[in-house]
């Protein structure tokens, strides 16, 4: 059974064409009792018919052009595959063999055509290329974009004037990511075109961080699968759908979505259907309104429009009244084509026609090279054109067509990727328009390939606001993403950062720890310098301690004044006035040294505070120790034959005080020389603030100073305790004993309190110990004497002191 071309014209060289001019095919009944009838095709596809017309236009233009093939005419044979791969195989065999029925045991080895243009769909193109491939007949497709066709090993003689889906699929993922749609659905044709394209998109989407809620596919001959796809779309939460579909499958899906009233989805389309006029119906805009997708650039070929709507029907199509008898068979089978003669509303949106035009010119330029054509002598007609020569010539073509586009093929036989980004919009007259809103050019540098005019886009429902399609809302700064168990990476919960951590960007994977000297703010989106804490003069605690310090100094000066005024009285004389004044002076220094513990620690204040504390208290305790020894010596001196007081006179008392104090000075100098106390930022106790304190430097030095003070206090306490019951009316040893008892109790309590107190309370505890012990000494030793000097002056007599009065 032969297959006649739908359109044909003889020439010196022949170019074949295969298009899906009809969209449906009816299988004949196979009774095996009679010769099968021809396959019946129905459903005119206007866009595919325009491809055939464009091919004829380009051939006619070349035949009229004396520059390319001056004395050679190009003929054509155009077949209709009726959107069927089975019919594609029949067309391929017819193009190779011709339609004449011949008998014989040999063949010429020459195919009926020298090159083939087609097909529109990748699956049919694969059938065509594999059938013609062993004979090395070049096939140039205008819209078969499957990346699988890039294999030169499997398809060595295949070329295309359109880019591979490798670029479109990646661009789709970039487009989705650009608008922040991280939760999408995906539907593709169950074909080579749809499966390969979707596989590349899914891989690119994963790289871009886009999650796919579902991936569904169906074939045009599987209505039950189509209904399942519609149900999945209906139940899904993704508002964006990427449709990698051929226009036939897209038309089927559109019908079902309209029937189920599924609207408001943002469709992202591919070149196969985004500008297909066949999808524009009265109800389609409610589903596809606002759709975005990549489209081949519009055809801009002078003279083409007039040819399509007028010249073709007047000069090329032979089924008219005058010649109907000579071509009766093909004309009778294709009477429905006459219905297209009045159609012209699709011409403005022709896009793939440019690719058909380029394909015809590519073949003609390769023939120009093979036939060694020249301006003066024309082409050598005697040269036998072999198909593989045309293949090799096509690899080297590089020319510019009249609309300004350059034509060449890369190493995979494809053209450079250039797309328009189009948006389904409704015009002012209510018509559906495919409005360009950007472009993609793979030949440009990576940062300049994608250009979008977002303001010109109309979104579904006629809205100007960008639709949102995410599984989980974006996590604000201050939180981080925690993936939901068993769900894709785009589905997550937003968990606040822990204390001391921050995230200053949206959708952070993890929170970062603040630097050591910083702390997170309340919103956890920034790190602020930690609050520096120390016992300052301005805070309440500092003011209270300053008050008691100065109050102690005032009381000490008051006592010193009273002693000075009454220095010649028996009471003052009996209490060793020189040591008493030195003790009052040292007590004033003890009170004042507490001020060095208040305020911001510096290098000098840290060294001063501990050394001043150690030296002044040793001076104070040394004076008390001297007074205790004087009491003991005085009692011994009253015994018969005792001469002890001459060995502990005023000079010896001064030397004793100086000696004990000098030892403390030596300890402090060693401490400051070897490892002095320095300011230290303590970040260990509180995480949210820094305690500015004085590090001890050498703990041994600190405890040596404190231990020496404690040793002298204990020694003083023991001696005073031994002298407490000496026969004396005014026994000063009792007062010293009690003062040392308070002193030791305070400092024994201080040690655990000092170790366990946090922050500036450590300093406050130390100041409290200094003030408490100082007040204890002041009150215990000097309060009874001041009481007599001020309130009971009558007791300030020698007789009373010697116990000779009642």
| pLDDT at 320 (0 to 100) | 53
In a shared domain, residues 504 and 557: no
Q: How confident is the model over 735-745, as a mean pLDDT?
A: 80
Domain termination site, one of 462, 495, 529: 529
The single residue listed with the structure tokens 């899904």 is 236
| Cα 136 from Cα 386, distance rounded (Å) | 9
**pLDDT by residue (tens digit) across 53-102?**
999 999 999 999 888 998 899 999 999 988 888 888 888 888 888 655 45
Residue 424, classed as helix, strand or coil, is strand
| pLDDT at 758 (0 to 100) | 65
Ranges 249-253, 500-504, 605-609, 648-652: which has the least confidence: 648-652
β-strands 158-160, 183-189: how paired? unpaired
Domain holding 752, by residue range, is 540-793
Provide CB contacts within 8 A for 274, sequence distance 6+: 291, 293, 294, 295, 422, 424, 434
Query: Residue 286 above 50 pLDDT?
Result: yes
**pLDDT by residue (tens digit) across 763-803?**
888 888 888 888 888 888 888 888 888 888 777 676 666 55
In a shared domain, residues 663 and 694: yes
Instruction: Read off the CATH number of the domain in which 668 is found.
Output: 1.20.1070.10
In a shared domain, residues 621 and 501: no
Question: pLDDT higher for 432 or 794?
Answer: 432
Residue 759, classed as helix, strand or coil, is coil
Which pLDDT band, with edges at 50, 70 and 90, does 326 fall under? very low
Question: pLDDT higher for 575 or 526?
Answer: 526
| pLDDT at 467 (0 to 100) | 92
CA neighbor of 330 nearest in space, from 785, 624, 6, 645: 6
Q: How confident is the model over 528-537, as a mean pLDDT?
A: 86
**pLDDT by residue (tens digit) across 667-713?**
999 998 899 888 888 887 778 888 888 888 888 988 898 889 888 88
Kindly state whether residue 746 falls inside one of the protein's structural domains.
yes
Query: Residue 643 above 60 pLDDT?
Result: no
In a shared domain, residues 650 and 773: yes
**pLDDT by residue (tens digit) across 363-413?**
999 999 999 998 778 898 888 889 899 999 999 999 999 888 899 999 999
- Name the phi and psi angles at 465, rounded to 5: -85, 140
In a shared domain, residues 602 and 719: yes
In a shared domain, residues 487 and 586: no
Which pLDDT band, with edges at 50, 70 and 90, does 179 fall under? very high
Kindly state whether residue 223 falls inside one of the protein's structural domains.
no
Domain termination site, one of 529, 554, 589: 529
In a shared domain, residues 547 and 614: yes
Residue 191, classed as helix, strand or coil, is coil
Kindly state whether residue 189 falls inside one of the protein's structural domains.
no
Ranges 85-89, 248-252, 567-571: which has the least confidence: 567-571
Kindly state the helix (H) or strand (E) to which residue 492 belongs, with its residue range.
strand 492-496
| Cα 389 from Cα 369, distance rounded (Å) | 10
Query: Residue 277 above 90 pLDDT?
Result: no
| pLDDT at 554 (0 to 100) | 93
| Cα 80 from Cα 233, distance rounded (Å) | 35
Using CA of residue 343, residue 345, residue 347, residue 349, what is the dihedral sign?
negative
In the structure encoding, which two tokens stand for residue 782, read together? 């000097």
Kindly state whether residue 584 falls inside one of the protein's structural domains.
yes
| Cα 110 from Cα 786, distance rounded (Å) | 138
Q: What's the total number of domains in the chain? A: 2
In a shared domain, residues 487 and 632: no
| Helix extents (H) in 600-731 | 603-637, 650-674, 699-722
Q: DSSP letters along 493-554, please?
A: EEEEPPTTEE--STT-SSPEEPPTTEEE-TTSSSEEEPEEE---SSSHHHHHHHHHHHHHHH
| Cα 734 from Cα 727, distance rounded (Å) | 11
8 A C-beta contact, residue 82 and residue 220: no
> pLDDT > 70: what percent of the chain?
88
| pLDDT at 297 (0 to 100) | 83
Ranges 440-444, 555-559, 757-761: which has the least confidence: 757-761
In a shared domain, residues 509 and 605: no
| pLDDT at 804 (0 to 100) | 43
Kindly state whether residue 805 falls inside one of the protein's structural domains.
no
How large is the angle between the packed helices 165-178 and 192-208, nearest 10 degrees?
40
Torsion, Cα 628 631 634 636, to 10 degrees, reads: -80
Query: Residue 651 above 80 pLDDT?
Result: no
| Termini Cα distance of the chain | 157
Which pLDDT band, with edges at 50, 70 and 90, does 317 fall under? low
In a shared domain, residues 596 and 524: no
Provide the CA 369 distance to its chain's centre, in angstroms: 54
Using CA of residue 347, residue 350, residue 354, residue 355, what is the dihedral sign?
negative
In the structure encoding, which two tokens stand for residue 745, read together? 């109790």
Residue 775, classed as helix, strand or coil, is helix
8 A C-beta contact, residue 19 and residue 49: yes
Q: How confident is the model over 247-272, as a mean pLDDT?
A: 93
Give the chain's radius of gyration (CA, Å). 53
Kindly state whether residue 787 falls inside one of the protein's structural domains.
yes
Kindly state whether residue 545 falls inside one of the protein's structural domains.
yes
In the structure encoding, which two tokens stand for residue 59, read together? 């051939």
| pLDDT at 318 (0 to 100) | 54
Kindly state whether residue 334 falls inside one of the protein's structural domains.
no
Centre a 10 Å sphere on the Cβ of residue 510 and count the other Cβ atoms it contains. Answer: 11
Ranges 300-304, 513-517, 736-740: which has the least confidence: 736-740
In a shared domain, residues 499 and 548: no
Question: pLDDT higher for 643 or 740?
Answer: 740
Which pLDDT band, with edges at 50, 70 and 90, does 634 fall under? low
CA neighbor of 341 nearest in space, from 309, 385, 373: 309
In a shared domain, residues 664 and 708: yes
């Amino acid at each position: 059974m032969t297959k006649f071309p739908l359109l044909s014209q003889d020439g010196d060289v022949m170019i074949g064409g295969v298009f899906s001019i009809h969209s449906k095919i009816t299988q004949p009944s196979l009774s095996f009792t009679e010769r099968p009838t021809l396959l019946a095709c129905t459903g005119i596809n206007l866009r595919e018919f325009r491809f055939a017309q464009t091919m004829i236009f380009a051939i006619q233009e070349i035949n009229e052009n004396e520059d390319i093939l001056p004395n050679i005419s190009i003929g054509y044979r155009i077949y209709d595959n009726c959107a069927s791969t089975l019919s594609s195989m029949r067309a391929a065999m017819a193009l190779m063999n011709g339609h004449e029925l011949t008998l014989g045991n040999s063949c010429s080895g020459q195919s009926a055509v020298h090159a083939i243009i087609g097909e529109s769909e990748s699956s049919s193109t694969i059938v065509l290329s594999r059938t013609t491939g062993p004979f090395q007949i070049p096939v140039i497709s205008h819209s078969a974009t499957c990346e699988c066709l890039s294999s030169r090993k499997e398809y060595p003689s295949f070329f295309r004037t359109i880019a591979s889906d490798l670029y479109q699929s990646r661009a789709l993922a970039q487009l989705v990511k650009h608008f922040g749609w991280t939760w999408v659905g995906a539907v593709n044709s169950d074909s080579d075109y749809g499966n390969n394209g979707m596989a590349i998109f899914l891989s690119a989407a994963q790289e871009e961080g886009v999650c796919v809620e579902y991936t569904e596919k169906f074939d045009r001959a599987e209505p039950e699968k189509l209904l399942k796809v519609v149900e999945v779309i209906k139940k899904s939460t993704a508002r964006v759908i990427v449709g990698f579909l051929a226009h036939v499958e897209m038309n089927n899906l559109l019908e079902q979505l309209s029937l189920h009233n599924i609207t408001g989805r943002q469709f992202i389309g591919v070149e196969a259907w985004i500008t297909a006029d066949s999808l524009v119906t009265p109800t389609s805009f409610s589903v596809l309104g606002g759709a975005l997708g990549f489209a081949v650039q519009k055809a801009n070929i002078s003279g083409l429009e007039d040819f399509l709507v007028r010249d073709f029907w007047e000069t090329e199509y032979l089924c008219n009244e005058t010649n109907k008898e000579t071509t009766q068979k093909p004309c009778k089978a294709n009477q429905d084509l006459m219905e297209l003669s009045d159609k012209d509303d699709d011409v403005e949106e022709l896009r793939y026609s440019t690719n058909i035009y380029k394909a015809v010119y590519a073949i003609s330029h390769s023939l120009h090279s093979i036939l060694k054509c020249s301006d003066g002598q024309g082409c050598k007609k005697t040269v036998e054109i072999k198909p593989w020569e045309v293949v090799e010539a096509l690899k080297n073509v590089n020319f510019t067509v009249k609309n300004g586009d350059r034509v060449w093929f890369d190493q995979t036989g494809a053209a450079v990727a250039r797309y328009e980004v189009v948006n389904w919009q409704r015009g002012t007259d209510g018509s559906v328009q495919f409005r360009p809103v950007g472009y993609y050019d793979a030949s440009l540098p990576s940062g300049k390939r994608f250009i979008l005019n977002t303001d010109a886009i109309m979104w579904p429902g006629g809205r100007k606001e960008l639709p949102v399609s995410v599984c989980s809302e974006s996590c604000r700064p201050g939180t981080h993403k925690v993936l939901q168990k068993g769900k894709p990476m785009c589905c997550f919960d937003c968990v606040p950062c822990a204390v001391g951590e921050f995230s200053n960007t949206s959708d952070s994977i993890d929170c970062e720890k603040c630097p050591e000297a910083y702390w997170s703010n309340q919103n956890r989106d920034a790190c602020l310098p930690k609050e520096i804490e120390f016992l300052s003069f301005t805070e309440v605690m500092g003011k209270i301690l300053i008050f008691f310090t100065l109050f102690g100094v005032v009381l000490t000066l008051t006592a010193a004044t009273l002693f000075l005024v009454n220095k010649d009285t028996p009471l003052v004389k009996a209490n060793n006035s020189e040591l008493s004044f030195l003790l009052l002076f040292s007590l004033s220094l003890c009170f004042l040294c507490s001020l060095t513990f208040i305020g911001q620690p510096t290098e000098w204040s840290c060294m001063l505070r501990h050394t001043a504390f150690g030296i002044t208290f040793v001076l104070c305790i040394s004076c008390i120790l001297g007074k205790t020894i004087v009491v003991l010596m005085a009692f011994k001196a009253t015994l018969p034959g005792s001469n002890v007081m001459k060995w502990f006179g005023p000079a010896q008392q001064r030397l004793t005080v100086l000696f004990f104090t000098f030892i403390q000075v030596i300890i402090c100098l060693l401490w400051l020389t070897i490892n002095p106390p320095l300011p230290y930022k303590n970040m260990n106790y509180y995480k949210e603030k820094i305690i500015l304190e004085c590090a001890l430097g050498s703990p041994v030095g600190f405890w040596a100073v404190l231990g020496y003070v404690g040793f002298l206090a204990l020694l003083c306490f023991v001696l005073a305790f031994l002298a407490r019951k000496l026969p004396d009316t005014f026994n000063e040893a009792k007062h010293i004993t009690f003062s040392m008892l308070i002193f030791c109790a305070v400092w024994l309590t201080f040690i655990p309190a000092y170790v366990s107190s946090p922050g500036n309370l450590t300093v406050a505890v130390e100041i409290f110990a200094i003030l408490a012990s100082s007040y204890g000494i002041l009150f215990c030793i000097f309060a009874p004497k001041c009481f007599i000097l001020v309130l009971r002056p009558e007791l300030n007599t020698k007789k009373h002191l010697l116990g000779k009065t009642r």
